[in-house]
A = this chain, B = another copy of it.
Amino acid sequence: MSTSAPTTRTRVVREPQRGVYDREVINQILDEAFICHVGFVIDGQPFVIPTGFGRVDDTLYIHGSAASRMLKQLSGGIPVCVTVTLLDGLVLARSVFNHSMNYRSVVVLGTADLVSDPQEKLAALHSLSEHIAPGRWEHSRQPSDRELKATSVLKLPLRECSAKVRTGPPIDDDEDMSLPFWAGVLPLELVPRTPLPDPKLPSDIAIPDHVAHYSRTRR
């Protein structure tokens, strides 16, 4: 599947020229990010919770802790919205009105289900771990049966989804172009700083490459 045909619910209405339904673009955004915001509804009240996620082909796996209490009460899954946002810069225009941000975001709608099969759960946790810190899985103790049981993971098909992307300089009105204000983009980037070893770590354990050279740029 190379495109996700927009539904009436995922079609980008505001600034439609920013809408992207190409699955490759959607996957790139999902793979560069590692925090999502999960929305669900209890008694008509929306809740939005940040959590980590992973992707395996056409399935998104999210840590189910936030929504799992709710899921237990329902069979057949719960309607969710999973939103992933990468902030790329502030767009500083000559007019307040034309200020904007450069960003890449993905919205996935659908029904989230608890992963119950132990094998699928293990694979989901592997994808979550490798998604957040590639190489980490092999550099830590893998989950025991007890830990697997204590962890809840939700799955959501990447079926009804769309991306929204803004790039480039500010777009000002013609009559504002001669105003004496600086205009442009201030790029923003999430960068890793110097790793802080656990105070209890033996001094002979060196910082491994996957931590020392951590980068969100995807292979």
- Which A residues lie at the B interface, using CB under 8 A? 9, 13-14, 35, 37-41, 44-50, 52, 65-66, 69, 79-83, 85, 87, 89-90, 92-97, 99, 101, 103, 105, 107, 109, 125, 129, 132-133, 136-137, 139-144, 147, 150-151, 169-170, 176-177, 179-201, 205-208, 211, 214
Contacting residue for A96 out of B41, B143, B179, B205, CB 8 A? B143
Given A47-B107, A182-B201, 5 new contacts (CB under 8 A): A39-B48, A41-B41, A44-B79, A187-B196, A188-B192
Check if A191 sits within 8 Å of B192, measured CB to CB. no
Q: Measured between alpha carbons, how far is A47 from B181 in the docked complex, in Å?
A: 37
* A44 vs chain B, min Cβ distance (A): 6
Q: Measured between alpha carbons, how far is A9 from B83 in the docked complex, in Å?
A: 22
- A45 contacts which chain B residues (CB < 8 A)? 9, 79, 81, 109
Which of chain B's residues has its CB closest to A194's CB?
B187
Which of chain B's residues has its CB closest to A141's CB?
B95
A13 and B198 in contact, given A93-B140, A129-B96, A141-B94 (Cβ under 8 angstroms):
no
Ranked 5 nearest A-B pairs via Cβ:
A39-B46, A39-B48, A187-B193, A48-B83, A37-B37
